[in-house]
A = this chain, B = another copy of it.
Amino acid sequence: MLFITYRKECDLAQHYHLRGRFWIESPQGTFLGQGRVLLLERVQELGSISAAARSMKMSYRQAWGLISQMNSHSPEPLVLSSTGGQGGGGAQLTHVGKRAIQLYHEVLIDFEAFLSQRAQTLKL
């Protein structure tokens, strides 16, 4: 008696998705990622680093550290803060800061298009 085992290639594309994350790195390390861009957006919206930090349940110190890193990894600062210090002073995005948010979203659109297109041909 002959048994023929027949294995149909399984097409995952119907039910499986590709998901992912990306970030932009400078030679010194991470420059822009999802969390940093959200922080920039909150600074733009709230006009203050401490308010932005609070809205993200992040310490002022941590937010300031991230902003200071972004500023130093860029040819021009992304955020300018006046007087500064916890609670006091305001902060605003520079032209480069606003453009960084836009750039991130431009790459995000292409990134999601890639994942969604590539997911159409997942076969196990």
Contacts and interface: CB of A to CB of B under 8 A. Distances in A.
Q: Is the interface of A mostly helix, strand, loop or mixed?
A: mixed
Interface in A29-84: 31, 74-76
Nearest to A118: B110
A2 B118 CA distance: 53
A27 B107 CA distance: 26
Nearest to A95: B7
Contacts of A96: 10, 124
A5 to B, nearest CB: 10
A43 to B, nearest CB: 17
Interface residues of A, number: 34
A20 B118 CA distance: 15
A30 to B, nearest CB: 8
A122 B5 CA distance: 51
A103 B122 contact: yes
B10 A75 contact: yes
A20 B17 contact: no
11 contacts: A10-B75, A12-B103, A16-B25, A18-B25, A18-B107, A19-B22, A19-B24, A20-B20, A20-B23, A100-B124, A110-B114
